Amino acid sequence: MLRIPKSKFWATTHTHTHIFLPSFSNSLSLFLEIAMAASLNLSRLLSATAVTASLIPPKTLPSKLSLPLKRRPIHKPLRFSSSTISATIAAGDKLPDATFSFIDAAGEIQTTTVSDLTKGKRAVLFAVPGAFTPTCSQKHVPGFVEKSGELRAKGVDTIACISVNDAFVMKAWKEDLKVNDEVLLLSDGNGTFTRAIGCELDLSDKPVGLGVRSRRYALLAEDGVVKFFNLEEGGAFTFSGAEDILKLL
């Protein structure tokens, strides 16, 4: 309760007592104005808070009962490029000359050329996307090794496998496959011949770091001129095997 001191608000004249409340009235009026202003500001603050809250999307809190999920990597088989087949050579064209390298039995680096392999000869040249890759190691090269006798019986003088790998890798691959003289494993290390015939295959997007390699193919050349050219889609293996070549001889 508000107590008003008599000395400030009460006065006595003769027998009549008069009450003067001018200071109390002013204080009450000021108090009411302050209260109304505070109420208005509070109302505005609550309104602004509600608008701001409506603009912020609700945040979902993770359940304490949920357990963390462990993601396991999904191992997918290596898929080669599915781009349209294209090459700069075809049946009837003369093969461009290029130099290949290999390491002989004595461990010495040797070179040979397309001309050495094909001039005055019937030569089967086939290419693989990479040494030690599954299809090349399990099917393509072993198939030509197995059928090399039949191919030579049909008049083939040279059987050579070409890959965009260095000569040391090709030597290690040859030893791993236990290949002797049935098939030459040649390094087109810089991809010179592969690019010259338009058979480069960009595998840079693959996670195993293959980079630019060769499309898979098999061809027969007589005296350097292409007689037939079986070019696969990317690294597919459908009609470039030894048996497919035998059917065309």
Residues labelled catalytic:
136
The structure tokens listed for 172 are 């290690």
Tokens of 150: 């039949």
Distance (Å, rounded) from C-alpha 225 to C-alpha 40?
A: 97
Q: Round to whole Å and give the CA distance between 64 and 6.
A: 67
Residue 207 burial by CB count (10 A; 0-12/13-18/19+): exposed, middle or buried? exposed
Question: Which among 155, 162, 149, 147 is positioned nearest to 215, based on CA atoms?
Answer: 162
| CB distance 186 to 76 below 8 Å | no
Token pair for 92: 């009837």
Among 137, 125, 70, smallest CA distance to 96 is for 125
Q: Which helix (H) or strand (E) holds 118?
A: helix 114-118
